[in-house]
Each structure stands twice: as structure tokens, then as C-alpha cells.
Amino acid sequence: MKKLTTFIGRCIILASFIITTSYANNQISDAQIYQLMDKSGATKSIEGLPEQMQAMGQQMALTAKNPSEHKKFMEVFVSSLNTDKLLQQMSEHIRKNVSSEELQLILTWLDSDLASRVVSAELQSAEPKFQQNLMHYVAELQTTPPSAERTKVIINYVESSEVVEQGINMVTALLGNMFEAIKITQPENVQLAKQLDGQLEQMAVNMKPAMEQQMILTSYFIYRDISNEDLNQYSSFYKKETGQKYLSLMVGAIGEGLNEWGASLIHQIAKEQS
């Protein structure tokens, strides 16, 4: 039980880091879906996850009480992440949840100069040293804080994009699937099931302040070269119908891929610890 609790704690840290309508339409081509995933930065972000997880694992190793156990955990964690399968699941979700007309509007937006620059800036989060660079930048902010206007613009973006709410939904869904997988491996353990259900409910409540703070600080760093005017324009996109569709579509696609991976990971870990 102690090992299981430790494992859950690690999963929460890494899941929080990964870091955010349904009708079929057979007229959408594979090329359009690949365009969406490439231009949105999703393909590069997913393909970079294993290297990011390795970098995050190295940071966590600095405080690990049992280095050998942590190393074994990270090996299983990273090896279980099949990026090709995850991208395939994302493409299937997109195909089922967007019309050809909606997809074309999204692609048109992504072809704009502003969207291209913003996506390029956002892809910094896919780099292995992202967390290290972010921490250095946040330390600099403490000595040279941003202007009141910049703070207002950043907070407006975080609220408009609903990145905090979407991130919480994604993490809790991922952990929920993991917890369900754990309960399946120990169906007779009623106490464990109650404990996991209680933890999940409490996490959703406690997670928001920390995630909101993290998203604001991260946005300062990622969009540091995007002007206030451009960032406000980017924020307004998420208030439009196309922006709302784009956000829900991509978050849903990523969430679906991560959920299945999380459940598979738990089964693999449980099998090794049994």
C-alpha cells in the first residue's frame, strides 16, 4: 500500500506537468487532421513527451529517498508512453468531433501570422529544459516584476483560454482512469477504493489555486516576446465560436490519449509490484 501511495504521488506530479459535441464526418481527410496537429504544435509536443519526462524525472531524482526505486519507476513510466499510438488516438478523436467546415476555419486561423508566432512561442514548453528555463525566468521576475498592464493582459489570457479549468479536467480525468485501474487490480479492497475516490474529489478542489498560479507564471515566460496588443487579440480568439471549438477539440484529443495511456501504465506498474 505504501508503494502504491508513493506511485500515485509521482503520477500526480508528472500528470500535472503534462502539461490542457460529438458527431462523425467522413469528409475530413487525413491530410487536414495532420495539418491541424502539426500547425497547432500538438505533434511536436507529444513527440517530445518522453524526453520531457526524462528531464522531469532527473529533477525528481534529486529529492528521491530511494534512487534505485525512482529510476525503475521512471523507466516504466517513459517506456509505457507510446507517442505514435497517442497521436493516432488524438487524430481519431478529432475526426469524430469536428465538421469539415469547423476544421477549415480553425486551419485558416492557424495559418495567420499571429497564430503562427503564438504556436511557435508555445512550443517552448516541449523543450527538455523548459522547466529549468522557466524557473530562471520566474526568479528574474521577482527582481524585475512586470508592469500592471502586462499582468492584466496575462491574466486575461489565462481566463479567456480557460487553460486552468481545462488543465484540471484533463489531470483529474487521467488520474480518475488510473485510480479505476488500481481498483480493478484489487477488487476486494473496499478501503482502497474509498480512499482513492476521496483523494480524487479533494484533488480537484485543491489543485485549482496551484495550477492557476503555475499557468500565470508560465504564460509570463512563454509569451514574453508577444506584445500586449497581440496577446489580447489571441485571447479574444478563444471567446469566439471557432476558438471555443479549437480549444475543446484539442484538449479532448489530448485527454483521450493520455487517459488510455494512464490506465495502461497503472496495469503495468501493478503487475510489476504484485
- Per-residue pLDDT reduced to its tens digit, 94-107: 999 999 999 999 99
State the average pLDDT over residues 81-106.
90
The closest of 263, 270, 238, 264 to 118, measured between CA atoms, is 238
pLDDT band at 26 (very low <50, low <70, confident <90, very high): very low
- Residues 6 or more apart whose CB falls under 8 angstroms from that of 46 comprise 83, 86, 87, 90, 254, 257
Domain ranges of the chain: 2-273
pLDDT band at 233 (very low <50, low <70, confident <90, very high): very high
The closest of 44, 46, 79, 75 to 58, measured between CA atoms, is 75
Cα–Cα separations (whole angstroms), residue 207 to 14, 59, 98, 101, 163: 14, 21, 30, 36, 13
Q: Coil, strand, or helix at residue 224?
A: coil
pLDDT higher than threshold 80 for residue 202? no
pLDDT higher than threshold 50 for residue 23? no
pTM above 0.75, yes or no: no
| For the chain, percent of residues with pLDDT exceeding 70 | 83
CB–CB of 194/260 below 8 Å? Answer: no
Identify which has the larger pLDDT, 205 or 4: 205
pLDDT at residue 145 in the model? 94
pLDDT higher than threshold 50 for residue 8? no
CB–CB of 254/171 below 8 Å? Answer: no
pLDDT at residue 36 in the model? 93
- Residues 6 or more apart whose CB falls under 8 angstroms from that of 248 comprise none
pLDDT at residue 140 in the model? 93
